[in-house]
């Protein structure tokens, strides 16, 4: 990567704010170019660039309809390892819960779905890091997790797996 981190981050946040179908202010070729650049930037991440990069990946999740791009972002974030992934996600969860609750549910659901698999250690990392955040953030995230454990929530089949008291 030749750009400074600040330039890279600014571009990622711009192209990661996926243009929505109802937005006629941006032409289709520009929409496609932004989407493709976002995917290209994510694919270029190795996972060794530093924590600020994985945090920027989660910061780039801004659009309601991502047309599959945010799954690519999640895979890119995983390359940074469990601790960086969970730290960055927990940092951004309050914003995601407020503005993109389905995305937040999908992300915590993917962690909970590691239960009983070779990747189950991610659950312990998430829960430990969650127990160390500010009381306000912990309360918000734990409340969201409990809500998503309901009959129609992302965690309905994984109740009790996630949370600072799990």
Q: What is the mean pLDDT of each run of 10 residues along the chain (166 residues)?
A: 85 94 90 96 97 98 92 96 98 97 96 95 98 96 97 95 88
pLDDT for res 166 = 74
The Cα 15–Cα 43 span in angstroms is: 14
pLDDT for res 23 = 87
Q: How many helices (H) and strands (E) does the chain have?
A: 8, 0
pLDDT for res 33 = 96
Helix (H/G/I), strand (E/B), else coil: 79? coil
pLDDT for res 3 = 73
Give the list of residues 6+ apart from residue 157 with CB closer than 8 angstroms, or none. Answer: none
Tokens coding 149: 């454990």
Burial class (CB in 10 A: 0-12, 13-18, 19+), 27: exposed
Asked if 47 contacts 81 with a C-beta cutoff of 8 angstroms, the reply is: yes
Tokens coding 42: 């994510």
Tokens coding 146: 């409990």
Tell the residue number behind the tokens 């969201």, with chain if given: 144
For 99-137, b/e burial (b = at least 16 CB within 10 A) is: ebeebbbebbbbbbbbeeeeeeebbebbbebbeebeeeb
């Amino acid at each position: 990567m030749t750009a400074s981190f600040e330039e890279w981050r600014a571009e990622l946040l711009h192209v990661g704010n996926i243009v929505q179908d109802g937005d006629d202010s941006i032409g289709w070729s520009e929409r496609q170019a932004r989407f493709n650049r976002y995917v290209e930037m994510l694919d270029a991440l190795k996972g060794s660039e530093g924590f600020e990069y994985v945090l920027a990946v989660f910061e780039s999740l801004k659009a309601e309809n991502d047309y599959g791009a945010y799954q690519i972002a999640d895979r890119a974030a995983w390359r940074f390892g469990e601790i960086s992934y969970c730290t960055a996600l927990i940092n951004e969860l309050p914003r995601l819960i407020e503005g993109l609750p389905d995305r937040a549910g999908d992300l915590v659901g993917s962690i909970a779905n590691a239960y009983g698999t070779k990747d189950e250690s991610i659950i312990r990392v998430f829960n430990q890091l969650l127990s160390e955040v500010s009381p306000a953030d912990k309360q918000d995230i734990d409340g969201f997790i409990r809500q998503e454990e309901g009959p129609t929530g992302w965690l309905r089949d994984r109740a009790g797996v996630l949370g600072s008291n799990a």
